Structure 1
């Protein structure tokens, strides 16, 4: 049995500003770092065969916090990067709604109809590269645990793949919050979600 531990990166400065990042980047906030440390404690007794991260700095920083006390090296894979949002990247949601309201409505409410013509990606593009990534990991690891640090849209697409749902169900609950944990069990070509968007580590009382 292969267990894939998918983690969304910790909260970033642009997350707080409601600014879409896509392939651009911003630093983890103090909260994002704190939450990643809480998750590291939660996973302290779990042994991992490998750690794979999106190359984005916010994901790699999160992965480094999660593996601080381990001898594992972090491998990056571009197939785990966030959806490329074209000219939306770096803009706030309010700005995007002003300049591109119809397309943003598709993005949020009709994801199966969302398309870009500026070099960005749609959700099927993300699905294609994520399925390719999953197949490559399953070919390399037939058992054990693999830690994977990635982005919100990637985890939402992962849910669709595992549940065999259409794209119009992309934004179904649960929400994928910063440092949330989603676990996929893979065995003999079948994938099963056994945890989705879990943030129990962030509810730990302090002091």
Structure 2
């Protein structure tokens, strides 16, 4: 089964402004680009047989910066997109607290019960991510794969890898931009070897 290197896109302008992004996009900041480059340097000795990215521009640009100089092509897959937040996208956290407090509170405190009026539920996100994961596990047995996706998507995947319930989604490590998670996928189950690591951000360029 594959060895999976999983990372989130780099910091974006909307991250700084505390805006929800979802399927909408915001450009990487200079810091986001730098950390992606540093992660690429950190992983330069890892031979990836395949690289997959969310088609969202912020994720694809991050993948391109990480893989600069590599010959392995970057493949995009829509199943790796962030949770679709509908009318919330582009809105700040403060705006949602003031204008949609009940749903906003459910999103963060009871994700297993969260219902979106115009976007996706966490279960819909989980189903498409696991559909993608099954393909990877069959197509890339005994290979090392890099996946560039989004913060909530990674939290949902970690919940699956650890076998924890959706209601405990937010209890694991915070997933910073370009943080590195490594998962060994085996026939007996998935083992999280590294979670949300930011060692590369502290290294000299």
TM-score range, shorter chain: over 0.9
2:192 aligned residue: 193
Partner-residue secondary structure (3-state), 1:154: helix
Whether 2:130 is the aligned partner of 1:131: answer: yes
Deviations 1:147-189 (A, max 9, x none): 0000000100011101111111100131000000111111225
Whether 2:85 is the aligned partner of 1:85: answer: yes
Whether 2:24 is the aligned partner of 1:7: answer: no
**Unaligned stretches of 5+ residues in structure 1:** none
Q: Distance in 1 between matches of 2:81 and 2:188?
A: 24
Q: Distance in 1 between matches of 2:140 and 2:186?
A: 11
What TM-score does the superposition give when structure 1 sets the normalisation length?
Answer: 0.96
Partner-residue secondary structure (3-state), 1:21: coil
Moved over 2 A (4+): none
Report deviation, 1:73: 1.0
2:178 aligned residue: 179
1:29 aligned residue: 29
Size of the aligned set, in residue pairs, is 205
Q: Distance in 1 between matches of 2:67 and 2:171?
A: 31
Partner-residue secondary structure (3-state), 2:170: coil
Report deviation, 1:205: 4.6
Q: Distance in 2 between matches of 1:84 and 1:189?
A: 32
Report deviation, 1:117: 2.2
Calculate the aligned-residue CA RMSD, in Å: 1.0
Q: Distance in 2 between matches of 1:100 and 1:182?
A: 33
What does 1:36-185 correspond to in 2, within 5 Å? 36-118=36-118, 120-185=119-184
**Unaligned stretches of 5+ residues in structure 2:** none
Q: Distance in 2 between matches of 1:138 and 1:189?
A: 13
Partner-residue secondary structure (3-state), 2:75: strand
